Structure 1
Amino acid sequence: MNSHMSIPAQAEATKTEEVVRLTDVHRRFGPVPALDGVSLTVHRGEILGIIGRSGAGKSTLIRCLNGLERPDTGDIIIEGRKINALPERELQPLRRKIGMIFQHFNLLSAKTVEANVALPLKIEGIGKAQRLARAREMLELVGLTDKAKSYPNQLSGGQKQRVGIARALAAKPALLLSDEATSALDPETTRSILSLLKDINRKLGLTIVLITHEMDVVRAIADRVAVIDAGKIVEEGNVWSVFSHPYAEITKSLLAGNRPQLPVHLGNALDEKNGNDILISIDLVGSYAQSRLFSDLAEAFSRGVRLLEGGIEHIQQQPVARFFLAVPRSDVGLLDEIKAKLASADARLEVLGYV
């Protein structure tokens, strides 16, 4: 597992209290390791995105976090309690403090919206007046006050997910787990749900763990990201850092649609023996990418360096850039000069081949 640059000290200081800690968690189904030594920490008030392909272990991980699966070995500690060691009678009340939102909403069709939201409180034994008051409060939070007496079949997909979020928050959970909660929604509705979750995170200081296969979801609202592959956490760090400097091959693959990529025709034209140019990629984070990069490389461009592809985006308010350049092979020493110019900017330069 590769570590990435740490978040600024001020942000770090606000998120030091652990809500979740997993230590060397293993879970097998027959000969197949679903979780293979997972260690992970989630701090209070942060949003952690856990991303991976289908079959990577995401579903098993979330089921272990909410106590529906018990690990074969290793520890899962939530708010100081080792939940994998608890008997079922002690696990039940703790499980109620872990909110869940699902891809397919899981609402009861025969109950009204407010009854769906109040259901966890009814199970907990809270009186009717108190639980309905809490349900109305949560519906106001998610912008559905006027739908309290409606039934799920009268709602759009986005509205159903808002009801699911209100229900998950009804029992004032310490942790909210989101299991592919936006996968069944269209892009516009997805953006509105993610904005709502971020708003709830800010207003309530709620700790959220997002399980997803979509990098766009992670980029939109997560503070940190952990990449899971074949039951292992292969990479984790702050979102801007992982997006700018991915190390694991699976991370690079998952990010392929989110970062500038080498045009296919150039990749197909790589020819180490006959290529006239050295093809390089440059990955950068910070204001240098917006201000000094091209002025520092002005001489290199005057000597025949060409910009082939690239761009700058902002992730967590950080400028993140990736560029592909062609450096004349005949200009001996020019590549070393470019490397020297970029050394102070903590840029990552990679030689991709010759074209």
Structure 2
Amino acid sequence: MTSHHSFVGQPADAESGRDAVVRLSGVHRHFGQTPAIDGVSLTVRKGEILGLIGRSGAGKSTLIRCLNGLERPDRGSIQIEGREITGLSEEELQPVRRRIGMIFQHFNLLSAKTVEENVALPLKIEGWTKEKRLARAAELLDLVGLSGKAKSYPKALSGGQKQRVGIARALAAKPALLLSDEATSALDPETTAAILDLLKDINAKLGLTILLITHEMEVIRTIADRVAVIDAGRIIEEGSVWSVFANPHTETTRSMLAGIRTKLPPHVAARLEGEPKGETILGVDLSGPNAGYLLAGLSGELSGGFRLIHGGIDHIQQQSVARFFIGVPPLAEGPARAIAYLERHGAKVEVLGHVPGHD
């Protein structure tokens, strides 16, 4: 199955230009001699959830600060809803910033204000009447499942509840774009799952565009439509989540996926040898509708059969993404026949080594 990745330097598809909420083109930002952002071009389309993933120091935070005008790029173009922002004054940036909601890792709530006051704060700054502010806050607290907490103070809330308040506050002024900056990093796995479900629900109900900055592949896998991988200030890989997970093209992406991709069991990996004797151990990656049928067909291809060691089929964005490890005995050119069959059917096959005899 063909991959749908795109890379820096390739033209963006025509669709991406039409409904872009964010468009960055050739953005550079240096601190001294160090390039924090090194020629980034990226489009976030209306209504999508784009995951931007990278390790610490990859350039994610600088990119966010450039998007909301807190950092000025040295060169390049940044457009928000079609408006170029790089040359705007602080005063001119204000209406642009109102179109961008932000949620943070550490919530950034005001401890001396109630939940409803925290949510209504952006509207107070905008000059809404108290009655309208509180009505909007009530509506948003209902949306995030915290109707009963309007009069509570942040100290009485759990981490997950605080983040829900942060989300409600970010949505107060009806932004076109929601920036989520490591918003689930401080939360436990169960709470993270609930917050990601909420964001997905808001995206569906409101058609809200979300740019999700994270270093966690599991977050991307759960919620994003597309993923862009940033490393040393450059976008090194970009595509639909399922295609990048099924067939990562760069070592950085493979390394970041290592924690959640199926691995060869350690007791088998420990016995791998380079000498071509005994079973040949193959790693097999395949995505698309063939994934569930491939191994059944392989049985008919090999007179000596094969052994399924580990693996299975995952489903990402309703696409089947399979990763298997199989052992092929050295009978009748078994390994070569197996590889030829698998590759003919669109699988990516890697010879991991050989194990003498069976486990």
Paired position in structure 1 for 2:139:
137
Deviation at residue 306 of structure 1 after TM alignment: 2.1
SS in 2 for 1:135: helix
* Contact 1:3–1:236 under 8 Å retained in 2: no
Deviation at residue 16 of structure 1 after TM alignment: 5.2
Q: 1:253 aligns with which of 252, 255, 263?
A: 255
- Between 1:72-81 and 1:198-207, the stretch displaced more is 72-81
Deviation at residue 294 of structure 1 after TM alignment: 2.0
Matches within 5 A, 1:337-352: 337-352=337-352
Deviation at residue 160 of structure 1 after TM alignment: 0.5
SS in 1 for 2:124: helix
Gaps in structure 1 of 5+ consecutive residues: 7-11
Matches within 5 A, 1:287-326: 287-290=289-292, 292-300=293-301, 302-326=303-327
1:210 is the counterpart of 2:237: no
Deviation at residue 276 of structure 1 after TM alignment: 2.6
In structure 1, what residue type is equivalent to 2:71? E
- Between 1:193-202 and 1:87-96, the stretch displaced more is 87-96
Deviation at residue 289 of structure 1 after TM alignment: 1.6
Paired position in structure 1 for 2:151:
149
Paired position in structure 1 for 2:11:
none
- Between 1:173-182 and 1:59-68, the stretch displaced more is 59-68
Paired position in structure 2 for 1:88:
90
Could you report, residue by residue, the CA deviation over 1:60-115 in whole angstroms, capped at 9, with x for unpaired residues?
11111121111111111110011112111111111111000000000000111111
Q: 2:77 aligns with which of 56, 75, 85?
A: 75
Could you report, residue by residue, the CA deviation over 1:170-201 in whole angstroms, capped at 9, with x for unpaired residues?
00000000000011111111111100000000
Deviation at residue 163 of structure 1 after TM alignment: 0.4
In structure 1, what residue type is equivalent to 2:145? G
How many residue pairs get matched?
347
Paired position in structure 1 for 2:4:
4
In structure 2, what residue type is equivalent to 1:175? L
Q: 1:179 aligns with which of 162, 178, 181?
A: 181
TM-score by length of 1: 0.92
Paired position in structure 1 for 2:9:
none
SS in 2 for 1:111: coil
Distance in 2 between the 1:161 and 1:338 partners? 50
* Contact 1:277–1:327 under 8 Å retained in 2: yes
Distance in 2 between the 1:55 and 1:264 partners? 31
- Between 1:18-27 and 1:204-213, the stretch displaced more is 18-27
Deviation at residue 295 of structure 1 after TM alignment: 1.9
* Contact 2:51–2:220 under 8 Å retained in 1: yes
SS in 2 for 1:172: coil
* Contact 1:16–1:44 under 8 Å retained in 2: no
Distance in 1 between the 2:145 and 2:17 partners? 28
Distance in 2 between the 1:90 and 1:267 partners? 59
Matches within 5 A, 1:228-247: 228-247=230-249
Distance in 2 between the 1:157 and 1:225 partners? 27
* Contact 1:15–1:45 under 8 Å retained in 2: no
SS in 2 for 1:132: helix
Distance in 2 between the 1:30 and 1:313 partners? 45
In structure 1, what residue type is equivalent to 2:287? V
Deviation at residue 132 of structure 1 after TM alignment: 1.5
Deviation at residue 338 of structure 1 after TM alignment: 2.5
In structure 1, what residue type is equivalent to 2:259? G
**What RMSD, in angstroms, separates the aligned Cα atoms of the two structures?**
2.1
- Between 1:49-58 and 1:281-290, the stretch displaced more is 281-290
Q: 2:104 aligns with which of 102, 107, 111?
A: 102
Distance in 1 between the 2:76 and 2:265 partners? 44
Distance in 2 between the 1:182 and 1:15 partners? 30
In structure 1, what residue type is equivalent to 2:288? G
- Between 1:13-22 and 1:184-193, the stretch displaced more is 13-22
Paired position in structure 1 for 2:10:
none
Gaps in structure 2 of 5+ consecutive residues: 7-13
In structure 1, what residue type is equivalent to 2:296? S
In structure 2, what residue type is equivalent to 1:307? L
SS in 2 for 1:69: coil
1:278 is the counterpart of 2:280: yes
Distance in 2 between the 1:13 and 1:53 partners? 29
Could you report, residue by residue, the CA deviation over 1:309-338 in whole angstroms, capped at 9, with x for unpaired residues?
211111111111101122234532x33433
* Contact 2:304–2:331 under 8 Å retained in 1: no
- Between 1:164-173 and 1:248-257, the stretch displaced more is 248-257
Deviation at residue 5 of structure 1 after TM alignment: 5.6
SS in 2 for 1:158: helix
Paired position in structure 1 for 2:332:
331
Identity across the alignment (%): 67
